[in-house]
């Protein structure tokens, strides 16, 4: 869900807009995750280390699991404010 989605009716009660970006260049990948907290008017960002996927099959598997953990992890908080 991006910031523009907060304007849609079904997200009217959501006050936090999470964003995930995958940056890839050649054999390097980095995951950047962040969210906009509308109440605090702040942007929070965290990033993975630069992940090299040019190793042998076993090394690549470990790195792909690392990427999957970043992308498939559960949110750590609710995005909606309950009345």
State residue 67's pLDDT score: 87
d(CA 60, CA 15): 38
The residues, ordered by sequence, that sit 6+ positions from 81 with a Cβ below 8 Å of its Cβ are 13, 14, 15, 39
Quote the mean pLDDT of the chain. Answer: 78
Confidence of residue 28 (pLDDT cuts 50, 70, 90): very high
pTM of the model: 0.65
């Amino acid at each position: 869900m991006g910031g523009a989605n907060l304007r849609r009716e079904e997200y009217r009660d959501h006050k936090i807009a999470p964003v995930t970006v995958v940056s890839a260049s050649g054999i390097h990948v980095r995951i950047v995750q962040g969210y906009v907290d509308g109440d605090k008017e702040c942007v929070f960002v965290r990033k993975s280390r630069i992940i090299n996927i040019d190793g042998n099959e076993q090394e690549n598997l470990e790195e792909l699991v690392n990427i999957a953990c970043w992308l498939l992890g559960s949110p750590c908080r609710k995005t909606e404010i309950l009345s």
